[in-house]
Structure formats: structure tokens, C-alpha cells
Amino acid sequence: MGKIREDFKYKKVKNFFNENELKILTTYCDMQSRISMKNFEFDKWHQGFYGEPIMDSMLLNKKDIVEKETSLELLPTYSFWRLYTKFQQLPKHKDRPSCEISLTACIMNDGTEWPIFIDGNPILLNPGDACIYLGCESFHWREEFQGDHNTQVFLHYVDKNGPNTDQHIDQRYYWGTNKDAK
């Protein structure tokens, strides 16, 4: 493993989640979003679920694939997933230091095409597909969603030999928790 290629901006990975993983994640996200529906503020673009055990498990267990695709040794930082609904969007932004190498993966959707834009390039993801990108360097966003539902998980890493190693585990005490858990 070594330095990321100079020309690396993003990479789409088909079938990042296998069929069994996708079934489990789809069922989990559907149940969790129904249980938590009263807690959602659908006008907020950042509403979602941080560091849940099942998603942090994916963060840890999928690290090898992300390392292979980026040619870097990585330290996992955190996971975050959310259910997007009609008219929501993801504003154009760059991420914080704990998101040096980021990944968004589609867990489930209603079939409505809704690309993520990485530095202006649209990338369409079907359930199970992922896009790995440089979260701190690349502007990324999603236009207003016109469908009913789209569930995405975000897995974040930092370069083990880079400047952001202090972001490992996102300064939490344990995997599968938020920053306030002790």
C-alpha cells in the first residue's frame, strides 16, 4: 500500500454490498426509519443515524475493499446513514478531516435515479453499489430528490500514513456509539 494515485478523484464500485448484506441492511434501515420516524425533521439535509453498530460493522468489515480500491492503508473513522425523501437534497460541500476517504453506498430506493455529483460528475448508484471519493478534496452534492425514498450509508476513513490519523474512530470511545457515549 502506498500513496493514492494523483489522478484518483472517485471510483464507482458495483455490488459493494453482496446480496445477503443488502438484505440485512435493507430490512434494518426500513425498521429503524419506521421506529424513528417521529424524530425526523425532513427539512434538514443532515438528519440521519450516526455510528450505529450495524453500520460501524460495515465500516470495519469493508475496509479491505476500500483499501484495495484506493491503494491506501486506512483507519476507519465513522459511519452515518440516512433515509432521503421527496424534495430533500445534499448541499454542495467538502467534508471535515475525518472524511478524507469517503464512500456513499445505496442501500435501497424506489427506483428514482438520483446521482451523487463528485466535482460536477454525476454517479448513479443502484442498491448495493458504492462510490469512493476524496471527501475533503472533492465538492460533492445531490440535487433535489424527486422520488419517495432513497437510503444511503456513508463510510469514512483516513489515510493511516496521512495528517488526519487523530480522527481514527472519530474521537469516540467505542465503535457503534456516538461521541457522547462513555
Over residues 20-32, the pLDDT tens digits come to: 999 999 999 999 8
- The whole model's pTM is what? 0.92
Mean pLDDT score of the chain, rounded to an integer? 90
Residue 159's alpha-carbon distances to 29, 34, 178, in angstroms, are: 29, 36, 22
User: What share of the chain has pLDDT > 70, as a percent?
Assistant: 90
Which region, left, alpha or beta, applies to residue 54 given φ > 0 means left and ψ of -120 to 50 means alpha?
A: alpha
**How confident is the model at residue 4, as a pLDDT?**
66
Q: Cβ(81)–Cβ(55) under 8 Å? A: yes
Q: Cβ(131)–Cβ(12) under 8 Å? A: yes
**How confident is the model at residue 45, as a pLDDT?**
45
Residues 12-58: tens digit of each pLDDT = 999 999 999 999 999 999 998 888 765 555 555 456 889 999 999 99
**Is the pLDDT assigned to residue 119 strictly greater than 80?**
yes
Cell 475525518 appears where? 98
